[in-house]
């Protein structure tokens, strides 16, 4: 009995997801969660400028939240997987729907950031895997300290030029991805009044530049010895 009550909402949800608008909504909601994480993560990481005690006690505080931390991690993980899978599905749909004769015109109208969303998005997925192996698990970090000395992990990690340069490169991809992703999120949920869209578009670029600048500043200032 209960299963027949459940079947309709489940079927409706699947139908909604199968439609392009449903997938765009999923992209907008999961994208919003990921952007909020990236902003919060950056604000936390900027404490590297306040010295080892501040950054390490912040990391210890996060660990002390226990199950709350795991709930946030689960939400992030599900959001990231849904964002990547749905993004690939939408890209495949667009490839199939694109009329060959119009390819040239569409390319002129689209920005570099919008045309490269699939490439910059996949680059970010690769970055997150590398980043976890580097600063969370230490697998690809020559002198990783598992004793929660996050400060020394970050500093020693970015004193290696290839790692610092790789992070800086990935952050440029992040900037392109966010500069298009943040404003297109508003379009996907229907908040696209022609009067406000140019402002939203400019605000998205400013926010993307600030996030990228903050994220690049950390490896760069360690690499050049400002933070040690
Ligand atoms: C220069 C920029 C960045 C620095 C210095 C940095 C630093 C760190 C550090 C130290 C950790 C481990 C924290 C701990 O074990 O307590 C971490 C974890 C993480 N970072 Fe970053 N991060 C940066 C950029 C990013 C970006 C751009 C993203 C996403 C696109 C990201 C996603 C993550 C994720 C998902 C984790 C795992 C969080 C968890 O364990 O719950 N990071 N980061």
Please tell me what DSSP assigns to residue 6: H
Interval 85-104 mean pLDDT: 81
Please tell me what DSSP assigns to residue 123: H
Alpha carbon dihedral 91, 92, 96, 100, in 10-degree steps, equals 50
Chain Cα centroid distance, residue 220: 20
Interval 209-222 mean pLDDT: 98
The preferred substitution site among 46, 55, 131 for testing ligand 1, maximizing ligand atoms within 8 Å of CB, is 131
Higher pLDDT, 16 or 39: 39
Task: Answer whether residue 111 shows pLDDT above 70.
Answer: yes
Higher pLDDT, 222 or 12: 222
Q: Tell me which residues have their CB closer than 6 angstroms to ligand 1.
A: 38, 41, 45, 59, 62, 73, 124, 128, 131-132, 135-136, 150, 154, 167, 174, 215, 218-219
**Sign of the C-alpha dihedral computed for residues 48, 53, 56 and 58 taken in this order:** negative
pTM greater than 0.75 (yes/no):
yes
Helices and strands of the chain, counted as H and E runs:
10, 0
Interval 135-153 mean pLDDT: 93
Q: What is residue 194's three-state secondary structure?
A: coil
How high does pLDDT run on average in the chain? 92
Interval 29-50 mean pLDDT: 98
Closest Cα to atom 1, ligand 1: which residue?
215
Domain definitions of the chain by residue range: 9-223
User: Nearest to residue 219, comparing CAs of 167, 169, 178, 173?
Assistant: 167
**Architecture (CATH level 2) of domain 9-223:** Up-down Bundle (1.20)
Task: Answer whether residue 213 shows pLDDT above 50.
Answer: yes
- Angle between the N-to-C axes of helices 20-45 and 197-223, in degrees from 0 to 180, rounded to the nearest 10: 40
User: What's residue 108's pLDDT?
Assistant: 46
For the chain, what percent of residues have pLDDT higher than 90?
Answer: 78
Residue 4: pLDDT band by 50, 70, 90 thresholds?
low
């Amino acid at each position: 009995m209960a299963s027949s009550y459940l079947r309709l909402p489940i079927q409706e949800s699947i139908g909604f997801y199968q439609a392009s608008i449903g997938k765009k909504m999923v992209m907008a909601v999961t994208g919003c969660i990921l952007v909020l994480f990236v902003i919060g993560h950056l604000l936390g990481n900027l404490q590297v400028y306040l010295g080892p005690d501040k950054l390490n006690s912040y990391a210890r505080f996060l660990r002390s939240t226990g199950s709350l931390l795991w709930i946030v991690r689960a939400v992030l993980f599900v959001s990231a997987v849904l964002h990547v899978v749905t993004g690939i599905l939408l890209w495949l749909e667009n490839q199939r729907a694109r009329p060959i004769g119009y390819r040239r015109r569409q390319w002129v109208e689209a920005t570099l950031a919008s045309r490269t969303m699939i490439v910059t998005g996949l680059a970010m997925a690769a970055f997150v895997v590398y980043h976890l192996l580097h600063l969370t698990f230490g697998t690809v970090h020559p002198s990783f300290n598992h004793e929660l000395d996050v400060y020394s992990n970050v500093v020693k990690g970015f004193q290696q030029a290839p790692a610092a340069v790789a992070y800086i490169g990935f952050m440029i991809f992040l900037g392109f991805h966010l500069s298009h992703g943040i404003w297109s999120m508003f379009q996907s949920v229907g908040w696209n009044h022609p009067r406000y869209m140019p402002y939203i578009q400019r605000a998205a670029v400013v926010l993307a530049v600030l996030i990228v600048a903050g994220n690049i500043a950390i490896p760069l200032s360690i690499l050049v010895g400002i933070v040690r």
